[in-house]
Amino acid sequence: MNRSNYKRILSYLFLFPFLIGINTLSGFSQRDFKPPKYNFTNYSIKDGLSQQIVRSICQDSTGFLWFATEDGLNRFDGYDFINYYFDRTNNKSLPDNFLYTLEPASDGGLWIGTNSHGVAKFNHLTNTFSSLTDEIDEDSDLTDARVYAIYEDNEQNLWVGTFNRGLFYYNTKTKLLSSFKNEPHSESTLPSNTIFSIGADNSGKIWFRTDRHLASFDKKTNTFISKPLPGTLINADFTNNLIIDARDILWTSTEQGLVKYNIKKDDLEIIPLYNDNGKVIEIIEIIEQNTDYLWFGSYSGLYLYDKETGKSLNYKKISNEKNSLSQDVIISMHIDNTGSLWAGTGSSGISKLNLYTKNFQHYSYHPESRNTISGNLIRALYVDSNNNIWVGHVSGAIDIIFRDSQKILPIKKQAGDKTEGVLGFPTSIMERKNGEIWVATWGEGILIYNLDGKLIKQLRAIFMSGDSKDLDLIIHCIREDRFGNIWIGTETGLVLYDPLRKRTRKFAHDPDNNNSITAFGVQSNSIHFDKYGNIWVGTWGGLSRFMPYSLTENSFDIEYKITQYLNESNNPNSLGDNRVISMWYHEKSNPNELLVGTYGGGLNRIIFDSYNPDSLKVFVYGRSEGLSNSVIYTIECDSEGNIWLGTNRGLSKIEPKTGNVSNYFENDGLQSDQFYWGASSISNNGELLFGGVNGFNLFDPKDIVEDTIRPELVFTDFKIFNKSININEKIDGNVILNADINNTEKIRLDYNSKVISFEFAALHYVYPQDNRYKYMLEGFDNDWIEVGGNKRSATYTNLEPGNYTLKVKASNYDGAWTQKTKSIQINIVPPVWRTKWFIVTSIILVLLLLVLFFRYRTKQIIRMNRMLEKRVRFRTNELSEKNNQLVKQAEQLNNANITLKEKQQQVQEQAETLFKQRNELEKANQIKDKLFSIIGHDLRNPINNAKGYVDLLKYRYKQYDDEKKKTIISSLSNAIESTYNLLITLLNWSGNEHGQVLFEPNPYIINDVIAENIELVEKTAKRKKIQLINNTKECSIN
């Protein structure tokens, strides 16, 4: 039942008292059927219709709707249109696009009357068309006739009415076609060659409507009986207005009005019907809804006609209203098997009207009416002891609806009119035991009225105290206890008022005191007294229970134990939310049960102990339990114990015995999907009232009946890789569908069909978008998959080869599921290499090859064994000789090995010698390097000295005297000699290294060597102020 919002259109309706909320019509008989509310759904070219002049509508035996237009035929499943046209390249297509009439065929197909190609037949199995005259060998006037009427009788034979070609009768068994024409001078012939309508009475007699006659056919005599109709000749080809009801009353029309003809009594009556302009309604089409009502299509809209009272109700187009009738010219009509009226218009497509909506009476504001409520945003509702309804508006107005007279009395106008009370708008209404009506307001205290709506007084000063006086004037709830004291819920807490002694007592929240009321303001309808004397109070911050210490003393004078109940995130046995905005309690039905509505935490069903405040069980109902919304503005219970909730999205009903939850929305007749704070009540006879943003609803819960019509379920398309497969279309050389998918029981697919999709539809047309579906592919899915009306398909990818069965179930918008599933078998053919015969054949071939190979190998092994035996003997002898040779070679090798070991020992000794020599060379090199370093150092000093003496002689030779020169020359000579001796020593060492010097050691006086070296560097040392002293004793080295 999840449906989009619709605005209720009530203006322009003839005799339409819905303006004041009455759901029956003055002059209409009081039966189960109530005239439907003005709420049309329209379809046009933009929705898929082929053309907008809709001449005929019918429903076939499967449940599809068909629409004949002047440019094509349309099939509709509630969601999509399929268009059929003439195609000159296809001799099985529709023979003509200009269509006049449709008639369901008993075999499931469809008879079609065309403009210029006679009668066509649609085959629902193959989705192809054929002409009726194709089955007849001889030429006929029907071949190119304009066909106005087709009727299939109870023997499945066909009657065809044409324009100016007469009447045709086709026997479907013998395939014979007969024709009847007017003979001017014979009264027993057809009265006219133009036939507009055909029907049959309860005896099976066929009746015809011609341009100015009624006629019946006598099968025994093959003659016609005519009855002239008053008025001028009918020449409009829209006319199709003959029906015969269950009482054998024939209904048709003329320019003078409605014709009612009693067939059994042969009694004809003209009933003039007039439109709003006082002119006779020109009726184009007539259909019957049931035994009590007729629908007329006319040039001035739709009319609902009550057969019993003769009254009619007119539905007309309203400009700029999307849910209006799309056009006033109605040329075709049909009522489908799920309870919707379809109206085809002269140029604006199709309008659908649901006939059986829920019986919710709707009161709303209508400025054109004097007898209307004052506004649509409802804040308070109350039914007094006289069963009259008090309505409080957010605008500040207050109305009384007197039920007996249906008169509406505005006793307080909107806020701002000081002559009519005060500025605050009403929030809560109650009736005291003394008959006074107390109205709590937002910001202006309490207004007190009598039952007739006369203002008695205003209570305001009792709240004006302290800093919070303005908030104290904002009152959400008022209740009177058994002592006559008034409990008043305000924005700052709870006030107890004793009207007898004019005294007040306040209960405020104290965060440091557990024995205080929960935080924030008391909310609407959130004060209740239970059977045990407890007072339950709901605030924006939780729920409080006041337990009096005495049940006999006046409630004003005693003390209370206050227990707070709050939401605890980790405790499922706590409130769903602290924001308590509605409550309900009834001591007789459930004395230990309190219903608490929260803002966002759903409904909390609280089971409490009579005297133990700590013993509490909480059951929460939210979205997961089936509610449409978790904001519970109002709560009421009916006489059956069902719980009704006004929410932010629709009205919900909980059946505590079964746990079933039903949700209702605007399309069911509700004022809107959104209800409002505190606006609910119950009448004295059990009717429930719920207010919202667009007025309020009043209803008897027993009258709210679910739609139990189960939909017909059909397959509408089959796709491979998202491409629709047509009948007899070949995919990879194979035909997938030999018939329409809906008439196919089994599909065989190649394994390459990796993506397959099935589309389906539940043919329940009331609210198709809210139909539900469940599907399951046996062999693949483990459970049912549920989807909504916006996803009517099942897609599967990469299915393994094998057998599957797709099963689908559907429900209507009210949850009535089909009892049988619609199914189709699917066989995914494996590739050749995965088929059983291929696998078995392959196994056999492999086994056969193995056997042959085994035999071949056995013979081959035997042959090879024989050859091997010969070779073994030969090779044994050969090996014996070679073995002897090998023994000799082994001996030789052994001797060679000994020799090698000896040589190896010699090589090892030589390596050791070389290793020692290498070490000695390395040491000699080290010594040589060190010696060269010493020699270089020793040579540098005498050479430097010699160079210094040479420089002295070179640059100061003339300055020195001979003695000085001798001294320098002597020093130079010593330096050169020292150098020379060092070089001689070096050459001797080198020769010694190469073995060229004979070693002849002699004693060597070390003192002389030291003295020579000191003498060599002495002068240099003196210049550097270094003193060299030789302390060695004279000794020699041997």
pLDDT tens digits along 102-152: 999 999 999 999 999 999 999 999 999 999 988 776 678 999 999 999 999
**Are the beta carbons of 131 and 170 closer than 8 angstroms?**
no
Asked whether the predicted pLDDT for residue 26 surpasses 70, the reply is: no
pLDDT: which is higher, 207 or 1023: 207
State the pTM of this model.
Answer: 0.73
Backbone angles phi, psi at 945, to 5 degrees: -60, -45
- pLDDT band for 524, please (50, 70, 90 cuts): very high
- pLDDT band for 464, please (50, 70, 90 cuts): low
Asked whether the predicted pLDDT for residue 423 surpasses 60, the reply is: no
For 203-212, 367-376, 791-800, 947-956, which range has the lowest pLDDT when averaged over its residues?
947-956
Beta strand extents in 683-754 (DSSP E only): 688-692, 695-699, 713-720, 723-724, 730-731, 734-735, 746-750
Q: Which residue has the tokens 């000295």?
A: 945
3-state secondary structure of 936: helix
Domain 836-1000, architecture per CATH: Orthogonal Bundle (1.10)
Asked whether the predicted pLDDT for residue 967 surpasses 60, the reply is: yes
Residue 993: the pLDDT is 60
Q: Which helix (H) or strand (E) holds 992?
A: helix 962-993
Asked whether the predicted pLDDT for residue 543 surpasses 50, the reply is: yes
Distance, CA of 247 to CA of 235 (rounded, Å): 29
Q: How far is CA 235 from CA 346, 355, 495, in A?
A: 16, 32, 79
- pLDDT band for 824, please (50, 70, 90 cuts): very high
Residue of 36, 680, 626, 649 lying closest to 360 (CA atoms): 36
Q: What does the angle CA 159 – CA 160 – CA 161 come to, to the nearest 5 degrees?
A: 125
First to last CA, the chain: 136
Q: How far is CA 229 from CA 160, 234, 237, in A?
A: 21, 10, 18
pLDDT tens digits along 699-756: 999 999 889 999 999 999 999 999 999 999 998 888 999 999 999 999 999 989 999 9
Q: For residues 258-284, give the mean pLDDT.
A: 92
Distance, CA of 97 to CA of 85 (rounded, Å): 6
The strands making up 426-431's β-sheet, listed across from edge to edge, are: 426-431, 437-441, 446-449, 455-459
Q: 713-831: which CATH number, 3.40.1790.10, 2.60.60.20, 3.40.640.10, 2.60.40.10?
A: 2.60.40.10
Share of the chain above pLDDT 90, in %: 63
Domain range list for the chain: 713-831, 836-1000
pLDDT tens digits along 843-889: 999 999 988 988 888 888 888 888 888 888 887 888 788 888 888 88
Helix, strand, coil percentages, rounded to 5, for the chain: 20, 35, 45
